[in-house]
Structure 1
Amino acid sequence: MSAIAPLVPQADYSTTTSHKETRSPAHTQEITSDLRDLRQRVRNLEEVAALNPVHGLAETGRHILTRQAGLRDSEITLKKTRLLRWSDWMGTAPEFQSVYKCFADACGSGESTSIRSDETKALIIEIDDLYKKCKRIAKSLKINRPSRCLTSPRPSLEPPPREIADAMITVYFRCFESANRILHEPSFWAEYRRFWEDPESINTGQRLKILLCIGIGSSLHDESGPDSELRGQVQQWIYTAQAWLSGPLEKDRLDLPGLQIHCLAMLARQIFSIGGDLVWMSMGSLIHRAMQIGLHRDPKRLPSMSILQAEVRRRLWYTILELLVQSSLDSALPPRISLEDFDTEAPSNNNDDEISESTTALQTHPRGTYTSTAMQLLLIDSLPSRLRIVQLLNGLHSELAYPDVLVLTSEITSACQECNKFAVGNKSAGVTAFHRNMCDYLVRRFLIPLHCPFTSEARTNPLFHYSQKVALDAALALVSPEPDEHFSRLIATSGGMFREGLRYAMSAITLELLVQAQEQRDDGTFGTSTRQLDFLKQAVHDITALSWERIRQGETNIKGPMFLGIVLGMANSADKDALCERTMAQNARDSLILCHDILETRARAVSLPSPNNDSLTSSSIDGDQDAFGLDLSLDFFFPAVVEW
């Protein structure tokens, strides 16, 4: 029901305006009083509308909003036999069609081949040669990486020297355990010391747990390069752990240590881009195993257990839910769990060294106090909202009504503000920039897919301009976190959820840049009002620099930087229609030159086998991108006709 209709019925206006008889002074004073009261009530409504735009809309406007939904059946598409992800759908905005056309024309697969100049033809030949060289080097680099299949029945499970291992374990606990509470630190260190002092007493599961922690920590510590021997070892450990988890369900798989290894493997796969885009499938097995041993029930409802075991179970359950909701967002598939499916309470706000097997009573710290569990508790606060988002986005029969979007946006924004407030207030207590960035990233990135179905509508329906703003603000925040060396390295090297968030941000920012540039061309202000446009261009330059760094750190797909170069070229053109194919070809050529130089530098650092050059097709290099490539591949930006 409309909020305005009961206050100002249409019939009252018709009756009032049709009366012609003379009014008495008393009656006139009464009308004046009524009008004054009506104006005050309208002002009150305007204030409410400012807080929640839906409340201030007429019934027809609200009807338009409630009719909007997520992806319709006609929009369901497969990409490489899989459903498109939300980052893929964002790339289908009509504003990008001109980018595709320019790319195709520059690459020789468009329809404008008849107008090419001799200079452009020479550039096309140079581009073709550079692209093949890049693909050849990329293929050689991938040959050196370990196979998906274990190369021997007894793969090497030896750690690096202890000094290095100690440093990497320390990095793991300082950074990753803040958001993903998987291990009880004192218990782990006791096990770790026994691993070095009496290795024969350590079983395979314990060894894998230790090696995975070393590997995850090495992602922020190892400076030897993306093709180093250590990185290859870590990848082999991840494959071994995955094989161990897939083996017969013996007792050492279906218990808390087994679930800890499973969580570590899920995290490591995303950090090292080993099937990072397929984590949603593996999360199904993990959540089922967790429920099989009762993690979805609060320990108070289970047989008596120690305080330590109860706290570890609660922490582990919410870590699994966090991994699950993140994988659901990135895969555009349902989370397969709801709030009604579990009653496990949040863990206590305590440090690990305050809990042991002998603990019989636990004094919980106030929520405003920083502990080793505090960041997880902040994530748990927003979990219902984020779970609701993926249910609405990815549910088979769900509809994403705009009033729901506004409510969820408010909840996610409040969660980000609480994270920042907590981090600022506890900086001296131990909260680092990495902690704040990680918490903010895992929560804020949900805003972009949430508003994705509505941002494209904003061009023709001003009711959705708010979605355009929210998506852009979230994207800019994701690509400009608080400076931190470890977090910058994580974003520059990792795949999975860490890559997908950047894809969301890249799509939102480049889309807004193209839209604003075209709006300025249309209203004649291009080149005169440049502040906002320059700001967006700088953001795209920053993303381009990040894409170069990702190639240095292990990515082999080069389409992302080329796409960004073309977008910048279009945004800098005063007349989009007059943007000549030569300029586009130059942008593509310049991008490929830098890509080739980076890949060649990496190739010189390792001993490369000679690849088979007979199969240098697009699929031979790009088709395996999610297995190892730390890419912002943007394959969805390029139509199938673009074959080089």
Structure 2
Amino acid sequence: MTSRSVMHKTRLFGQSHWVNSIVGFRDIFEMIDQQVTDTAASKVYVDMQRLKHLGRIIKALRVGSSWPSPSMSMSVTQGTLTTSSSSDPHKRYGLPSRQLADELVACYLRSTESLYRILHVPLFQREYDALWTSLNEATTNSPLTKADMAFVVQLKLVLAIGAATHPSHIDLRTRAIHWFHAAQAWIAEPEYKSHLTIQALQIQILLLFAREATGIGGALIWISVGDLLRSAVYMGLHRDPDHLPKRMTVLAAEMRRRIWNTILEVVVSTSLDAGGPVMLSDSDFDTRPPSNCGDEQLDESVLAQSTGSTIQADIQANNKASAETPTTAALTPASQTARPLSEFTSMSVAIALRETLSLRLTVCKVLNDMGPPCTYADALRLDRRFRAAYRNLTRTLQQYTAAATAAAADTSEQAGAPKTIDHYTVALVHLAMRRYLLCLHIPFFGASLHEKTTYAYSRSVVCDTAVRLWQACCPGIVDASVPTADAAEFAANEAKQTSFEQKPGRTLVDPEIVRQALLGAGALRRLSMQASLLVAAEAKFQLIEDDDLGQNGRTPIRQDLMAIIQTALHWSLRGIEAGETNFKGYLLWNLIDKQLDGMRRGMMAAPTASAESRMTLARELVAAAEQAEAECTPIFEAMLARGQQQAHDSALQALALPSGGHVVGYGGAASEITPVETFGPELYNLVRMCRIKDCPCQAIIHTQQQDQQQQQALAAAQLAEHHHNLQSLSMQQPLMPDIQQPLDPMAVEFAADSWDLIMPEAQSLNIGSGEPLSWLFGGETAQGILW
């Protein structure tokens, strides 16, 4: 059976973590360990260190200068200083063009918001339009208000999440990371009480999804979820609004239920992904599920008198009873605005998922909590309950699809209301549910190799579920001539051809899922990796059983399993081309593919394999590792070159530099942009620690030396010119024009131009001390001349 937990470095992973999927391939590393680590000159070891070093530098380049950078703090937290003199108002606040922003917002609404309800979309859309209106009407010296800046932070997170499913997701990855860091700088302000608001909770939730979308932190998101959960509990979201003493509007109550429901989903899903205890139970809250109210229904019945500036604003009830008795007016109950559960709204999918929350919570506790290990009988009973709940959920989604189809023909429906369930949303639901079923049986998957009859059901469930998960994420192998940027669209279009229906086992996969599960970062990427590794483990188990029966590779492995292994090998390299800085996945797949090939040739079977054949297979594995690293090296070097150029261009754009490289500081003095300001000190620390011969990162040091030499030469030229100007001044010429009357500072009015002429000379000579021109107006009149 799979170990109860796995310790890796400083972290402890539970049974649901994807790392349990590679335990079956530990013998690969045992075979090549001696050849790789016996000598420091091992090519595999040296290239691995080189690639790891390049990966760290690439990630540092994406972050840019030190965090939080001055541009973030001034443009986001203060809201009164701009970091660029650009004529485009949106650029002064780090926003893209309106056209790109509209596309990214649409991507977010179709992906994250369709499953996890965080925002009130009509209200968000009004504030979004108002922001662009204010930006277009704003002048250079009219900054946004503090409330507007909070919405800008929210918008940046929406853009960062939407970039993960945008067709240009590869080019937008660096910008998405900058948007995330700007929002992180805002939420990190030491204003804790002011962050205990619904909007701040929304930003915290969006921050977690943005971390997943940009690949920052990985499974460490589970740690931050604890902070989010406790903030929500402190605000009372775990109590239903009907049980709270403070009266609130229908919109406020429904938004509290929606956000708490989303927090519950995030808590359970991150616990499963990180392999950590869920630390939550059904008895810890009594907030009921959200009502089946679409945003449009709430907007029509409750927001009629709202200004749309804040969710917590007082909203007058829109009925005759409350108008007749204003002192005891009761707000419209949510049940009057809710639609029947059989009718599809924007909340229908979230409500349907809530029905399975308790069961999914139980699965997480069984896998990752500190309690006694789950027996196989308990696992089978939980499997039956889960499958029944999954069938009910599937039927509910089918009913919603039928109801939405009928509503699409009804022209009396509110314009803009959802007419049908998006295929992408349904696919996400199935991916989420099947992951729980997969993780429930993984602890018994390894034991099925030795106890074939006892755990045969778990082995079958793991294999079939892993195949379904992979097929739901991957449309197939893309032609190598197709650029990675177009791979998702090409694969999806190929799957939609007329031959699609004629090929059994094919699944229609949206390009957005391909961008997230195969080319992006986050939970879907780890899920596809976990599913494909389990498929490879099943193929290996079949070869082991074949050897035990004396077949020695003569029994063919299931073709669908081998196809998945080859496809996973292909897409792991495509993921690196799309910006992934961790090459170990591609390296592992090359080793797995080579080991399976050797097993088919009988190089590991006990009856036929000899020590020499095993050593030959070990050398082939080392060669495969070298080949994989050789393929990854030029990709990393190209990413490094692009990262350097993007970091330099971003620094120029943020500081509004002219072509000469000079920038006017906030104090009015001219300064130079240095490589450290461009790339950040963290990058230079990595470069200075590099001891790899001919590493491409040395070009950064060369660039630094060239820039420093240019700056020193420029400074020397300016100093020489300054001395020349001083020497050219006539010593007989008085410093100031003749004054006929006694110099009285209280009686003489100096024009601003006179101060401008005197101050630069006084400052450059460092004359006197104290207040400006005190050396001239003070008692010692000869102080300046004596100096």
TM-score bin (small chain): 0.7 to 0.9
Q: Tell me: CA distance 1:310–1:586, structure 2 relative to 1, closer, same or farther (3 Å).
A: same
Q: Secondary structure of the equivalent of 1:83?
A: strand
Asked if the contact 2:517–2:526 (Cα under 8 Å) also holds between the matched residues in 1, the reply is: no
- Shifted more, 231-240 versus 436-445: the winner is 231-240
**Which position in structure 2 is the counterpart of 1:30?**
none
Distance 2:218 2:99 in 1: 30
Once the two structures are TM-superposed, the CA of residue 127 in structure 1 deviates from its matched residue by: 4.4
- Which of 574, 580, 600 aligns to 1:555? It is 580
Distance 1:364 1:130 in 2: 61
Q: Secondary structure of the equivalent of 1:274?
A: coil
Asked if the contact 2:552–2:602 (Cα under 8 Å) also holds between the matched residues in 1, the reply is: no
Distance 1:84 1:592 in 2: 28
**Which position in structure 1 is the counterpart of 2:276?**
333
- Choose 1 or 2 for highest CA Rg: 2
Distance 1:384 1:452 in 2: 21
Alignment of 1:10-25 (within 5 A): none
Alignment of 1:458-477 (within 5 A): 458-461=448-451, 462-477=453-468
Q: Secondary structure of the equivalent of 1:349?
A: coil
Residue 387 (str. 1) matches residue 361 (str. 2): yes
* 1:7-37 CA-partner distances (Å, limit 9, x unpaired): xxxxxxxxxxxxxxxxxxxxxxxxxxxxxxx
**Which position in structure 2 is the counterpart of 1:375?**
349
Asked if the contact 2:257–2:290 (Cα under 8 Å) also holds between the matched residues in 1, the reply is: yes
**Which position in structure 2 is the counterpart of 1:536?**
561
**Which position in structure 2 is the counterpart of 1:592?**
629
| TM-score normalized with structure 2 length | 0.63
Residue 315 (str. 1) matches residue 258 (str. 2): yes
**Which position in structure 2 is the counterpart of 1:433?**
423
Letter in 2 for 1:612: V
Distance 2:571 2:691 in 1: 27
Letter in 2 for 1:450: L
Alignment of 1:8-157 (within 5 A): 78-86=7-15, 87=17, 90-91=20-21, 93=23, 95-104=24-33, 107-109=35-37, 127=44, 130-131=47-48, 134-135=51-52, 137-146=54-63, 149-152=67-70, 153-154=73-74, 157=93
* 1:586-644 CA-partner distances (Å, limit 9, x unpaired): 32233223222432443444436896375369xx9xxxxxxxxxxxxxxxxxxxxxxxx
- Which of 524, 529, 548 aligns to 1:522? It is 548
Asked if the contact 1:382–1:443 (Cα under 8 Å) also holds between the matched residues in 2, the reply is: no
Once the two structures are TM-superposed, the CA of residue 508 in structure 1 deviates from its matched residue by: 1.7
Asked if the contact 2:543–2:553 (Cα under 8 Å) also holds between the matched residues in 1, the reply is: no
- Shifted more, 575-584 versus 127-136: the winner is 127-136
Q: Tell me: CA distance 1:186–1:488, structure 2 relative to 1, closer, same or farther (3 Å).
A: same
Once the two structures are TM-superposed, the CA of residue 419 in structure 1 deviates from its matched residue by: 4.7
Q: Secondary structure of the equivalent of 2:265?
A: helix
Letter in 2 for 1:492: L
Distance 1:279 1:139 in 2: 20
Distance 1:287 1:128 in 2: 43
| TM-score normalized with structure 1 length | 0.76
Asked if the contact 1:260–1:316 (Cα under 8 Å) also holds between the matched residues in 2, the reply is: yes
- Which of 572, 597, 602 aligns to 1:575? It is 602
Asked if the contact 1:85–1:332 (Cα under 8 Å) also holds between the matched residues in 2, the reply is: yes
**Which position in structure 2 is the counterpart of 1:190?**
126
Once the two structures are TM-superposed, the CA of residue 97 in structure 1 deviates from its matched residue by: 3.1
Once the two structures are TM-superposed, the CA of residue 81 in structure 1 deviates from its matched residue by: 1.3
Distance 1:477 1:103 in 2: 33
Residue 349 (str. 1) matches residue 292 (str. 2): yes
Q: Secondary structure of the equivalent of 1:397?
A: coil
Letter in 2 for 1:90: N
**Which position in structure 2 is the counterpart of 1:269?**
211
Once the two structures are TM-superposed, the CA of residue 346 in structure 1 deviates from its matched residue by: 1.1
Percent of aligned pairs sharing the same letter: 27
Q: Secondary structure of the equivalent of 1:296?
A: coil
Once the two structures are TM-superposed, the CA of residue 160 in structure 1 deviates from its matched residue by: 0.5
Distance 1:280 1:169 in 2: 26
More helix by proportion, 1 or 2?
1
Letter in 2 for 1:108: V
Distance 1:589 1:155 in 2: 46
Distance 1:556 1:274 in 2: 12
Once the two structures are TM-superposed, the CA of residue 416 in structure 1 deviates from its matched residue by: 4.1
Alignment of 1:435-450 (within 5 A): 435-450=425-440
**Which position in structure 2 is the counterpart of 1:10?**
none
Structure 2: gaps (5+ residues): 77-92, 136-143, 304-317, 319-331, 406-418, 473-507, 605-612, 646-678, 696-787
Asked if the contact 2:293–2:346 (Cα under 8 Å) also holds between the matched residues in 1, the reply is: yes
- Shifted more, 463-472 versus 158-167: the winner is 463-472
Letter in 1 for 2:255: V
Q: Tell me: CA distance 1:494–1:252, structure 2 relative to 1, closer, same or farther (3 Å).
A: farther
**Which position in structure 2 is the counterpart of 1:218?**
163
Residue 365 (str. 1) matches residue 339 (str. 2): yes
Once the two structures are TM-superposed, the CA of residue 341 in structure 1 deviates from its matched residue by: 0.9
* 1:169-205 CA-partner distances (Å, limit 9, x unpaired): 1111122111110001011111111211225344332
Distance 1:155 1:173 in 2: 26
Asked if the contact 2:539–2:557 (Cα under 8 Å) also holds between the matched residues in 1, the reply is: no
Distance 2:382 2:295 in 1: 33
Structure 1: gaps (5+ residues): 1-67, 114-120, 621-644
Distance 1:421 1:597 in 2: 49
* 1:477-526 CA-partner distances (Å, limit 9, x unpaired): 22111410111111134434223323432332222121111111221345
Distance 1:167 1:554 in 2: 21
- Which of 571, 589, 592 aligns to 1:546? It is 571
Asked if the contact 2:276–2:368 (Cα under 8 Å) also holds between the matched residues in 1, the reply is: yes
Q: Tell me: CA distance 1:476–1:336, structure 2 relative to 1, closer, same or farther (3 Å).
A: same
Q: Secondary structure of the equivalent of 1:572?
A: helix
Asked if the contact 1:382–1:411 (Cα under 8 Å) also holds between the matched residues in 2, the reply is: no
* 1:91-147 CA-partner distances (Å, limit 9, x unpaired): 463x42321223425x5337xx9xxxxxxx9xx966456545534543442231216
Asked if the contact 1:493–1:553 (Cα under 8 Å) also holds between the matched residues in 2, the reply is: yes
Q: Secondary structure of the equivalent of 1:198?
A: helix
Specify which structure has the bigger relative contact order, considering alpha-carbon pairs within 8 angstroms and separated by 6 or more residues: 1
Alignment of 1:152-167 (within 5 A): 152=70, 153-154=73-74, 157-167=93-103
Once the two structures are TM-superposed, the CA of residue 418 in structure 1 deviates from its matched residue by: 4.4
Asked if the contact 2:466–2:532 (Cα under 8 Å) also holds between the matched residues in 1, the reply is: yes
Residue 291 (str. 1) matches residue 233 (str. 2): yes
- Which of 248, 256, 263 aligns to 2:198? It is 256
Distance 1:527 1:464 in 2: 24
Q: Tell me: CA distance 1:97–1:292, structure 2 relative to 1, closer, same or farther (3 Å).
A: closer
* 1:401-435 CA-partner distances (Å, limit 9, x unpaired): 22331232233334444454455551744222210
Letter in 2 for 1:513: A
**Which position in structure 2 is the counterpart of 1:612?**
687
Asked if the contact 2:37–2:45 (Cα under 8 Å) also holds between the matched residues in 1, the reply is: no
Q: Tell me: CA distance 1:515–1:616, structure 2 relative to 1, closer, same or farther (3 Å).
A: farther
Distance 1:126 1:82 in 2: 29
- Shifted more, 586-595 versus 254-263: the winner is 586-595
